[in-house]
Homo-oligomer: A and B are copies of this chain.
Amino acid sequence: MKRSIVDIPSCSECDVEGNGILCALSHESKDFLSERKGDNFYKKGQTIFYEGNHANGLFCIYDGKVKLSKLGDDGKEQIVRFAKTSDILGYRSLLSDEPYHATATAMEDCHVCLLSKDKFMQLMEKDPKLSLSVVQLLSKDLRGAEQLLIDIAQKSVKERISEALLLLKNTFGYLEDGKTIGASMTRSEIADIAGTTTETTIRTLAQLSKDGLIELKGKKIVIKDFPRLVSEASIYD
Contacts and interface: CB of A to CB of B under 8 A. Distances in A.
A140 B96 CA distance: 9
A138 interface: yes
Contacts of A141: 142
A154 B138 CA distance: 25
Interface of A is mostly: helix
A102 interface: yes
A131 interface: yes
Given A101-B143, A145-B145, A78 B138 contact: no
A145 to B, nearest CB: 4
Contacts of A139: 92, 95-96, 98, 138
Contact of A70 (B96, B101, B146): B146
Most buried by B among A139, A152, A235, A236: A139
A154 B76 contact: yes
Contact of A154 (B72, B135, B136): B72
Oligomeric state, in copies: 2
A73 B160 CA distance: 12
Given A92-B142, A142-B145, A145-B149, 14 more contacts: A70-B146, A73-B155, A73-B234, A74-B234, A78-B153, A80-B146, A96-B139, A131-B131, A138-B138, A138-B139, A138-B142, A149-B149, A152-B152, A152-B195
- Shortest beta-carbon contacts, A-B, top 7: A153-B195, A72-B154, A138-B138, A145-B145, A149-B149, A142-B142, A96-B139
Interface of A: 70, 72-74, 76, 78, 80, 92, 95-96, 98, 101-102, 124-125, 128, 131-132, 134-136, 138-143, 145-146, 148-155, 195, 234-236
29 contacts: A70-B150, A73-B154, A73-B155, A76-B154, A78-B149, A78-B150, A78-B153, A80-B146, A92-B139, A92-B143, A95-B135, A95-B136, A96-B136, A96-B139, A96-B140, A98-B139, A101-B146, A124-B132, A134-B135, A138-B139, A142-B145, A145-B145, A145-B149, A148-B149, A149-B149, A149-B152, A152-B152, A152-B195, A153-B195
